[in-house]
Structure 1
Amino acid sequence: MILCGHRGVASLAPENTLAGLEKAHQLGLEWVEIDVQLTKDEKVVVIHDEKVNRCTNGKGKVRKYDWEQLARLDAGGWFGAEFAGQHVPRLRDYLARARELGIRVNIELKIYDKDNPARLCRKVSKLIDKHGFDKAGLLFSSFEPDCLRYLQVLQPEIPRALLVEHIPDDWQTRLEQLDCAALHCNYRYLSREQAEAVKAAGYRLHCYTANHPDKVKDFPAWGVDMIFTDKPQDYQQASPAEG
């Protein structure tokens, strides 16, 4: 079962920053998961929340900032003094560093009220093509089906995953319609029966955000392929992880 660092390694470095990516490399992780949105001037940036309040020294919605304004915010000091001066990275810079480190990236497309899924997908797709990022090292995911539909057309080579909290009864129909390769679900609500059904249908199964190894100790036997976690170091201390 592969470990994927959630928002980098969110227990050891400020989330969705280059410092978190470096921590993932230090731990030998194969994968990290990040979140992307658009700025006011339509730059693709790596940040989770609709507002910058929680993870920077600024206030307000991400979409109200242009890139230069956002880049001036401190996105690390809230986590610890040693991370002061970290910035909200652009996706292009994050992927460039991940390429240097040999880390694969799950890009989650975040859509909030009044966001435009088509515009975000076009910008992400154009960026990947322009900078020649290795599509084999990427995975798209989103709770927003429209994002997956757009990316199915824009970047058919890059696999897609549908994000859900609870696995719905019609999960297979949804995955088929979106031509997804994987299903991402909250580990708390996954049953063995569901896991085995997803795997029997030929899909990869990834679970978020499991920070206690003992709570998912049976998941490898269920066929779960990957775990998103803020604390990959705890899994590594318990036993070596694949990848």
Structure 2
Amino acid sequence: MAHPALPAWPYPRWIAHRGAGKLAPENTLAAFRLGAEHGYRMFECDAKLSRDGVLFLLHDATLERTTNGRGTAGDQDWQALAQLDAGGWHSRRHAGEPLPTLENLARWCLANGFYLNIEIKPTPGTEEATGHAVGALAARLWQGQAVPPLLSSFRPEALAGARAAAPHLPRGLLLDTLWDGCLDVAAQLECAAVICNHALWDAALVARVQGAGRRALSYTVNDDWAAQRLIDLGTDGIITDRVDLFSPAAG
């Protein structure tokens, strides 16, 4: 049963991490299409700014792990980034898959009625600017839509930038550890959700977060036992790589 202090929450419980987890090259449109084929209706992605101000999908600060490029991604212009192969590292099937812009993914989600969690993943030193850019783009693209994207980040400065650009869009503070004052920061930023490493949640923390009117979400949950524990705790959302294991229709 939902906590009486909690506002309405329009998002499904199950969220596909970076599109389809590890089944396709992360943060590519191929991955999001594959996640949708497995029945997922909500997706998580990572967004950062190119040097010339284009928002694109990439998790790491550097290009080497998931593209054939080199160096810090945010130091390069979009024209160069758009030429990179973001799929060949994963499998021959996906060789040549490009980096998408955040707008590419947003328009795909909107066309299909899907929900999106945009993790603001700034190049170090660009936290506020990246958050502001994500907020502004999301506000423009989702204008008039019933369900906006959820904007999340580990960096409070990025969430502050998003709030300045689009105060009406819901925000989530990501936590890998429970650092001193983290829940106070979530309150100051008027976050709708706290998104923790799944191992951090226990009954007391869930009660504290939900009692403050915020939703309790988890990343990255890839085992049955972990998912069941979070469901039993009454948490509100599960981000997973295992789109092939967990049925999003299970509730």
Q: Give 1:1-243 correspondences, 5 Å limit.
A: 2-113=13-124, 115-132=125-142, 134=145, 136-168=147-179, 170-236=181-247, 240-242=249-251
The CA distance in 1 between the partners of 2:249 and 2:48, in whole Å, is 34
- Cα deviation code 1:32-53 (max 9, x no counterpart): 1111111111111110000010
Is 1:166–1:190's contact at 8 Å kept on the other side of the alignment? Answer: no
Bigger helix share: 1
Aligned-pair distance for 1:118? 2.7
Aligned length in residues: 239
The CA distance in 1 between the partners of 2:49 and 2:154, in whole Å, is 17
Which shifted more, 48-57 or 188-197? 188-197
The CA distance in 1 between the partners of 2:229 and 2:133, in whole Å, is 40
Task: Give the TM-score normalised by the residue count of structure 2.
Answer: 0.89
Is 1:143–1:163's contact at 8 Å kept on the other side of the alignment? Answer: yes
Aligned-pair distance for 1:67? 0.7
The structure-2 alpha-carbon separation of the partners of 1:194 and 1:112, relative to structure 1 and needing over 3 Å to count, comes to: same
Q: Specify the SS of the correspondent of 1:106.
A: strand
Aligned-pair distance for 1:147? 1.5
Aligned-pair distance for 1:97? 0.8
Match of 2:242, as an amino acid? K
The CA distance in 2 between the partners of 1:110 and 1:229, in whole Å, is 18
The CA distance in 1 between the partners of 2:86 and 2:158, in whole Å, is 27
RMSD (Å) for aligned C-alpha atoms: 1.8
Aligned-pair distance for 1:4? 0.5
Q: Specify the SS of the correspondent of 2:168.
A: coil
The structure-2 alpha-carbon separation of the partners of 1:161 and 1:36, relative to structure 1 and needing over 3 Å to count, comes to: same
Match of 1:100, as an amino acid? A
Q: Percent identity?
A: 32
Q: Specify the SS of the correspondent of 1:234.
A: coil
Match of 1:116, as an amino acid? T
The CA distance in 2 between the partners of 1:169 and 1:130, in whole Å, is 35
The CA distance in 1 between the partners of 2:127 and 2:27, in whole Å, is 20
Residue equivalent to 2:3: none
Q: Specify the SS of the correspondent of 2:16.
A: strand
The structure-2 alpha-carbon separation of the partners of 1:130 and 1:224, relative to structure 1 and needing over 3 Å to count, comes to: closer
Aligned-pair distance for 1:130? 4.2
Return 5+ residue gaps in structure 2 as ranges.
Answer: 1-11
Is 2:63–2:71's contact at 8 Å kept on the other side of the alignment? Answer: yes
